[in-house]
């Protein structure tokens, strides 16, 4: 008999516990529980890099394919000191549920390198990225495993990896990864895609609860790629954005902030990594702490920064009635329990922030076709898919009297489990 797997890595352990809870709730066959609690494939690679001072440092890299039941595995590559094989396994499992729930034909994957990217020169980062790319290349492919950016990686890293693998293979293959720059086989709309998905979820709640967007006050924690577009698109829909933040602090105005001005700050402060809103209090708002932002007077809170900000200490102070999770895992299980008891509705991360990977799917489809779509087509398809996915999770939660996270898990796991069951256990 298989015993259930656990891990001392927080992310993998949380992913496993959430999966087991949902599997128990839906009485999932134990054979499927055993299969889906393990990754199909995990490779560990060493990444030797010649440093600027002539020394050689060997970094550790990983690529995990949790599931390819629904299609090629899909997921980002992150650079951070806490990256490990176990963490990638946990994140790859989340990608499986995200793609399944997102209604796109992918399984889940994730990769990364254990490093501090802020301490590397551009050339060191390029050498590290290319070596990593060459070492994971045996399992990367448009029909096998399709990487994308994640924390501390972006278009430049994708171009380095793609260029390396294409040269190794001797032919051009843009669909082997996504998140490429728009001028180089990327897709128009991809930059805003995750924020557009988060904003769509907030607007869908307003529709279902008969709330007038122009009367809504919204606080957005984190003004990076996800938070900034979430704020902008909700403002364009008529809402008042009362608070935004980055690592320089949080900025609050109960009458609404000038989000276009905030974009000017981030565009003119590109070198101030994570602190681009520095000085924004000069634009007619008050500088407050992140804790003040999380507990400010608002209707919607969109945590779009880091994991774990809504926890056993901060959750009880949240005044928002609705939380839309733009970041991955911003709410801890203890925090969620407090919110549940208080009747706060939480749209879970792998539903709310799926716009990124759905956008990746559109990019891949365009690359396979060799034909770009218009930005309008991209945005329309994205919003329609997000609305459908949201509706499915909302309706199931209402019908079964469960919270949105449980509903999202059950819907996501069911699609994967049904396909694994249909395909059968080979060998």
326 sits near ligand GLU (criterion: CB under 6 A): no
Geometric angle at alpha carbon 96, from 172 and 232, rounded to 5°: 80
Report the residue from 357, 382, 404, 417 that binds ligand GLU according to the rule CB under 6 A.
357
Angle value at C-alpha 228, between 223 and 232, nearest 5 degrees: 145
Closest CA to 332 of 368, 308, 351, 354: 308
Burial class (CB in 10 A: 0-12, 13-18, 19+), 163: middle
Q: How far is the CB of 112 from ligand GLU (least distance, A)?
A: 11
- The backbone region for 104, taken as left when phi is positive above 0, alpha when psi lies in -120 to 50, beta otherwise, is beta
Nearer of residues 154 and 256 to ligand GLU, judged by Cβ: 154
Catalytic-labelled residue, pool 98, 110, 180, 235:
110
Residue nearest to ligand GLU (CB): 76
| Alpha carbons 406 and 395: distance in angstroms, whole number | 12
Piece in contact with ligand GLU (CB under 6 A), picked from 12-20, 71-79, 115-123, 382-390: 71-79
Could you tell me if 348 and 162 are in contact, meaning their C-beta atoms sit under 8 angstroms apart? Answer: no
Please, what is the minimum distance in Å from the beta carbon of residue 396 to ligand GLU?
A: 22
110 as an active site residue: the answer is yes
Which residues in the 91-110 window bind ligand GLU by CB under 6 A? Answer: 98
**How many positions of this chain bind ligand GLU (CB under 6 A)?**
10
Stretch that binds ligand GLU, among 59-67, 74-82, 284-292, 305-313 (CB under 6 A): 74-82
Site string for ligand GLU, 131-160 (x = CB under 6 A): -----------------x-x----------
At residue 393, the 3 state secondary structure works out as helix
**Residue 39 near ligand GLU by CB under 6 A:** no
Nearer to ligand GLU by C-beta: 223 or 350?
Answer: 350
- Interaction between residue 76 and ligand GLU (CB under 6 A): yes
Report 231-290 residues binding ligand GLU (CB under 6 A). Answer: none
Interface pick for ligand GLU out of 189, 302, 356, 406 (rule CB under 6 A): 356
Instruction: Write down the least CB distance from residue 98 to ligand GLU, Å.
Output: 6
Q: Does 331 bind ligand GLU (CB under 6 A)?
A: no
Sign, CA dihedral 126-127-129-133, equals positive
Which residues neighbour 327 within 8 Å (Cβ) at sequence distance 6 or greater? 222, 226, 303, 304, 305, 306, 307, 309, 349, 353
CA dist 406 → 185, 243, 340, 409 (Å): 37, 29, 12, 5
User: With binding defined as CB under 6 A, does residue 75 bind ligand GLU?
Assistant: yes
- Asked if residue 66 lies in contact with residue 85, where contact means CB atoms within 8 angstroms, the answer is no
Between 194 and 314, CB nearer to ligand GLU: 194
Task: For the segment 161-200, give every residue that binds ligand GLU (CB under 6 A).
Answer: 178
The least distance separating ligand GLU from the CB of residue 287, rounded to whole angstroms, comes to 31
In 3-state terms the chain splits into helix, strand, coil percentages (rounded to 5) of 50, 20, 35
Catalytic annotation, residues: 110
List residues binding ligand GLU (CB under 6 A). 74-76, 98, 148, 150, 178, 356-357, 360
């Amino acid at each position: 008999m298989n015993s259930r797997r656990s891990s001392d890595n927080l992310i993998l352990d949380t992913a496993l516990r959430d999966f087991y809870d949902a599997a128990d709730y839906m009485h999932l066959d134990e054979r499927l529980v055993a299969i889906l609690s393990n990754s199909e494939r995990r490779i560990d690679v060493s990444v030797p890099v010649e440093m600027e001072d002539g020394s050689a440092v060997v970094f550790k890299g990983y690529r995990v394919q949790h599931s390819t039941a629904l299609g090629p595995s899909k997921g980002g590559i992150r650079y951070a000191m806490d990256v490990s094989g176990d963490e990638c396994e946990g994140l790859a499992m989340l990608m499986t549920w995200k793609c399944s729930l997102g209604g796109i034909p992918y399984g889940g994957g994730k990769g990364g390198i254990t490093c501090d990217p802020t301490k590397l020169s551009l050339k060191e980062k390029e050498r590290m990225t290319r070596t990593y790319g060459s070492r994971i290349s045996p399992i990367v492919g448009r029909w096998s495993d399709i990487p994308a950016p994640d924390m501390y990686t972006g278009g430049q890293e994708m171009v380095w990896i793609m260029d390396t693998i294409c040269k190794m293979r001797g032919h051009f293959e843009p669909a082997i990864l996504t998140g490429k720059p728009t001028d180089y086989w990327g897709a128009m709309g991809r930059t805003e895609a995750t924020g557009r998905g988060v904003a769509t979820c907030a607007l869908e709640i307003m529709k279902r609860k008969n709330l007038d967007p122009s009367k809504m006050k919204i606080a957005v924690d984190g003004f990076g790629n996800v938070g900034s577009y979430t704020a902008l698109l909700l403002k364009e829909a008529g809402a008042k954005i009362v608070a935004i933040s980055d690592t320089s602090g949080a900025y609050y105005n109960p009458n609404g902030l000038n989000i276009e001005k905030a974009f000017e700050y981030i565009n003119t402060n590109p070198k101030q990594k994570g602190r681009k809103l520095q000085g924004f209090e000069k634009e007619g708002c008050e500088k407050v702490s992140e804790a003040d932002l999380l507990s400010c007077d608002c209707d919607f809170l969109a945590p779009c920064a880091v994991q774990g900000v809504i926890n056993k200490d901060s959750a009880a102070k949240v005044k928002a009635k609705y939380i839309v999770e733009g970041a991955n895992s911003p709410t801890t299980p203890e925090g969620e329990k407090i919110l549940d008891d208080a009747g706060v509705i939480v749209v879970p991360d792998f539903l709310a922030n799926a716009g990124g990977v759905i956008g990746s799917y559109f990019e891949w489809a365009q690359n396979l076709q060799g034909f770009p779509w218009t930005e309008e087509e991209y945005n329309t398809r994205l919003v329609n898919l997000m609305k459908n996915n949201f509706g499915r999770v909302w309706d199931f939660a209402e019908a079964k009297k469960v919270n949105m996270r449980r509903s999202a898990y059950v819907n996501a796991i069911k699609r994967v489990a049904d396909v694994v069951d249909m395909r059968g256990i080979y060998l």
